[in-house]
Structure 1
């Protein structure tokens, strides 16, 4: 074995110890030791943050049900729900607020301040800067006011929105809408759902991510939103033609995970949309054989994926 090389700071500390055994020397080594502990702790903390577990979020569903499928970030509205989450699960609070720091906004946020199970706040869903598709129109300034208030009053809580694609299936578009620079929001969900009645197009994910990056959203601020629904009364357009969504098969889900991993291999969290049924559709929390098979694929992903 090779000899031990003593770091300069430690070597100097030992010199102090053997310098007559004085009280000053003892105080010196205590100070140096404390500094070394702080440095080591800081490195460990940084390493832990860099190698933390990617959280897995889904909207709807009981904490027990989603935990059984490997989800550890719950959709929460009330403090009682947050407090009831099982150990190891955090809460993402659904605010549905996009008008700025109003009394209603403050009243919704304040009860969660200081709660150890809090992860952050989902401000709103697909804000529309034009007001053409969702009314009223939402301004970046209003969302920035909300994000800034949360940062100032709820230290450590993240802010999150899912974005509306202002373009098309062929040409997604987010330019001049919302990004970290004009909102101060931490994370932005992108939801290119590729499984449709007419096509299964993984390249839709590529087009969407590229459009978001071009609009000023860095890759490390992007939250992948995975398609976990199909059928029902939802309608969309593919190639300008009216189309429907189909529930992904387990194989398609695995391909979606893999394609997203080329852009966001270690996201802070990902988002399976969705658990609870809406508009007559089949979702991850449904009891059909197809949904149960899809749930197995999501559980495998959720319990294997970390950053």
Structure 2
């Protein structure tokens, strides 16, 4: 099989399996047959070849390797739960450190790639695997869970909590500036937009995100808006919502463009407005 002549290897191994079912090396023939199928890309055929291997050859030293190979076939076929179970079987039947390490790496790599084993599988994991598996699961969801939720999930795995990157568990802060006409003839529209922005910000706070809001009343005035836009840009806000009107927003954009502060203008419709600033 070293020359990539896998189809020839499949035929040769099948002949050995069929011709010498009771040979002392029958387990080797059968395993080689399954491996040749796997290397040829016939994952289903490989699984069929290895089905019941541990029952047919209960004393074979290849049982752990057969489980691991079945895990590889399942994973390559998109059968993630079966792959996880078979990698676990390989780990639990391993007869040396090399096999145990390989199976452990395969289990953890599958989880790191996005597979979340169900509670029924977590319940049967050996203690030395449970925390590393749960740690990798926690890393994948850390950005959408609070630190308290992560720590609850990793209860009993204090060392794993310490190993998770601080930025994955920490709460990020979004600094938001709001510039709207809250007094004057357009205050009704400005207040409605402010209410909507505050509701959205409140929803964001349910995620691991802290939102700091600075609200300014532009009074629909160009000079006031320019002054406020400059102040917000210099304060380092991440985003400015407003102003409401195109002409007032154009004045504000002139102040924010140098600082590169994004300006989200909810109602400006003047032609060419977007070209005033790359942000």
TM-score of the two chains, using structure 1 as the length reference:
0.20
The answer to which structure has the higher strand fraction is 1
TM-score of the two chains, using structure 2 as the length reference:
0.22
Relative contact order, CA 8 A, sep 6+: which one is greater?
A: 1
The answer to which structure has the higher helix fraction is 2
Rg larger in 1 or in 2? 2
